[in-house]
Chain A
């Protein structure tokens, strides 16, 4: 970080961890309110913020708990600021109360989850076992957060930057779903400070009701009928997000016999398998969801119409695979390969799994050849 340029704006590449890149991108996106609580493996993020926020005149508080940290985010977001908190799995569980309130109060904010192994205290190594929690709600009530899944340090920076715009555009919390690997990995990263998008003014924010009617930020609708109406409004918003904000990366899907579906760290490894397969007759393609919610259903449905099968690879016991199956709706078999408890799948393991699920000698032979290539 010593080579950081004044003002934090750099046109040069810097070697940073994903955690640090997330923090710097947030600063450059105009985030001036960060509240966190230490937890491995996201400590580089809170540490970075503690020195960087004062440099840009922002607020940094090491909160008394994860619950307090997300509540402070609630306050700053309600007051119109760009606010962020970050944590790792056990801490994100604690934040669910606040996330539900933020969603119910339609407050924009960014929450970074550098996932570690669970359940319970689990371990401190990489995991993707919080998928359900992130995309299916996590807290109570019918709500969605937008969920973005970076697979590299550069993408971490880019997605954190975009997350603030998405949050403001839809008045909705955005979760960055990373893991211990993408959080602690160091890679060269560039911060492309993009021009601000045309975002709606925050006329709803609490600024003191000088010369205007009061603003109230709340999620409580005790009068019969009001809450249903509000939920209908939320659902309309979610459909709009599903329509406009789906992001994914598709590699070699047109020639593929088998499609891998993976996100984040496991997608990086799948990409290696895809690359290796290009020199053989039997082709492996890949769909990498970048938005986990909204989920890229449409592209997965399309590829399912012409491939032999789909293999979902996750660092979990099988979570995203359920959404893949929902998108495929039985058009082709959907298989799963997963590792848990800090295990990261290797390309060889994935290839062996492909050999296992493709009952075709020709394919198996080429794939075994493929497996031999280091």
Chain B
């Protein structure tokens, strides 16, 4: 098993965290994992893209030329990376922020992540909604394993954010189940 995932959004949309949760889960699960950020000189607002590779075997290049999955949060990132998904690949897009009449010919899930996150009371958890959706589709890891990573990261002052993130993850999973 090798899963090559490109995560893209604008800086501040939490793609870094989304990928890190998956990477931590993969590590805990005993998998090989590489997680590589590639960003421009902008700190906020620019396109942030991350290459995440999870495998049962040694990973050579951490860069991705052809992705098994693209998780994408906003329109500019979608335009830039949509063609990197391989023919039988998976596209998970944030339909709240991406409108397209000609979707690429790959398996596509449209998740209104920003709307769902807003309804939950915090737009910042839209990344976790996307993560929930991805988990429900690919089932790489159990929600439990991801929640464990989240709990470890949200220690101390951020502890009160755990239940919100948990809700976001579950909402994302729910979207896929009801499709």
Contacts and interface: CB of A to CB of B under 8 A. Distances in A.
Which secondary structure dominates where chain B touches chain A? Answer: mixed
Interface stretch (A68-76, A82-90, A130-138, A267-275): A267-275
Given A124-B41, A269-B61, A185 B34 contact: yes
A216 to B, nearest CB: 46
Contacts of B66: 374
Interface in B53-86: 60-63, 65-66
A271 B33 contact: no
Nearest to A151: B60
A308 interface: no
B60 A186 contact: no
Contacts of A3: 152
Nearest to B35: A186
A185 B153 contact: no
Interface in B87-133: none
Contacts of A181: 36, 62-63
Given A2-B155, A186-B23, A15 B35 contact: yes
Interface residues of A, number: 22
Which secondary structure dominates where chain A touches chain B? Answer: mixed
A187 B35 contact: yes
Contact of B33 (A124, A184, A188): A188
B24 interface: yes
A13 B28 CA distance: 8
B63 A186 contact: no
A188 B61 contact: no
Interface in A227-267: none
Interface size class of B (residues with CB under 8 A): 20 to 34
A187 B61 contact: no
B110 to A, nearest CB: 28
B27 interface: yes
Contacts of A188: 27, 33
Given A15-B20, A15-B23, A272 B61 contact: yes
A268 B23 contact: no
B11 interface: no
Contacts of B152: 2-3
Nearest to A346: B65
B61 A186 contact: no
Contacts of A275: 60
Contacts of A374: 66
A190 to B, nearest CB: 11
A344 interface: yes
B46 interface: no
Scoring B27, B60, B152 by chain A CB atoms within 10 A of each residue's CB, the highest score goes to: B60
A235 to B, nearest CB: 39
A181 B60 CA distance: 12
Contacts of A13: 27
A316 interface: no
A268 B58 CA distance: 10
Interface in B1-37: 20, 23-24, 27, 33-37
B87 to A, nearest CB: 11
Scoring B23, B35, B37, B65 by chain A CB atoms within 10 A of each residue's CB, the highest score goes to: B35
Interface in A159-204: 181, 184-188
Interchain residue pairs A-B with the least CB separation, the first 8: A272-B60, A186-B35, A188-B27, A269-B61, A185-B36, A268-B60, A271-B60, A185-B62
27 contacts: A2-B152, A2-B155, A3-B152, A15-B20, A15-B33, A181-B36, A181-B62, A181-B63, A184-B37, A185-B34, A185-B36, A186-B23, A186-B34, A186-B35, A186-B36, A187-B35, A187-B62, A188-B27, A188-B33, A269-B60, A269-B61, A272-B60, A344-B61, A346-B61, A346-B65, A347-B61, A348-B65
Given A187-B34, A268-B60, A344-B63, 10 more contacts: A2-B155, A181-B62, A185-B36, A186-B23, A186-B34, A187-B35, A188-B33, A269-B60, A272-B60, A347-B61
